[in-house]
Amino acid sequence: MKLEGKTVLITGAGRGIGKAIALMFAEEGAKLVLAGRNEKTLNELRDSIGAFGGSAEVLVWDVSQVKDADRKIKEAAGFFGSPEIFVNNAGLIDHAEFLHVTEEDWDPVLDTNLKGCYFCCQAEINHLRENGLHGRIINIASETGYQPAPLPYSISKWGVVGLSMGLAKQVYRYGISVSSIAPGPVLTDMMGWAPGKDESFPNAFGTMARPEEVAEVALFLATSKTDRVIGRPVFVSGGLDW
């Protein structure tokens, strides 16, 4: 198993990309801390993982509440020991047109996607360094982080891309690897998709990506085979970044 004995913390683990990553990592032997806001969906995922012999615990955490970050990382370490791999996946999307975006639209998206990711990274890096540990941080960005950005979501993902690249240069000398994944549209409820709905999308493949395709890349980045893959995002966008 590729992650046998590794402890992994995943934010936004209860659905979509985060859930797919959690299931794949558990199948590869990781011990998981499933973080998110919806305790019910996290408990259901934990039970699913337990049903095939995997190990997982639940950590209720809204990453937009940045004052909680250090405490939540310590709580996570209380389950299976200090996590060695962190997947910062928690995110929100907006659908308003630019001329109609309000502060109420803007704040939750930026507070979760960018500010939340920023302070998660800070708490994770501090924890690793204070405990003399090496580790990996994988931030879920977006191909919109390389596209013109008039909306809160795309602006937040520009920030995640820049944050990941900047941190990668700063902390690699401590044995901490920071990388990111930039998915295009993915078949998740956050994208408004549900089973039975149209999966088509105008990219090189003609369809949106499955969450498992993003999880495969996350698994690759979580292994020692990618020690030199840091900073710049790995695109899973079907060519949208061309």
* Residues in Cβ contact with 184 at an 8 Å cutoff, skipping those fewer than 6 apart: 142, 143, 201, 203, 208, 209, 235, 236, 237, 238, 240, 241
Q: Examine the residue annotation and report whether 153 is marked as an active-site residue of this protein.
A: yes
How far is Cα 59 from Cα 75, in angstroms, rounded to an integer?
Answer: 8
Distance of alpha carbon 4 from its chain centroid, rounded?
20
Which secondary-structure segment (H or E) carries 183?
strand 176-183
C-beta atoms surrounding 119 within 10 Å: 18
Q: Phi and psi for 53 in degrees, rounded to 5?
A: 90, 10
* Active-site residue identified among 146, 153, 172, 174: 153
> Which residues are part of the catalytic machinery?
153
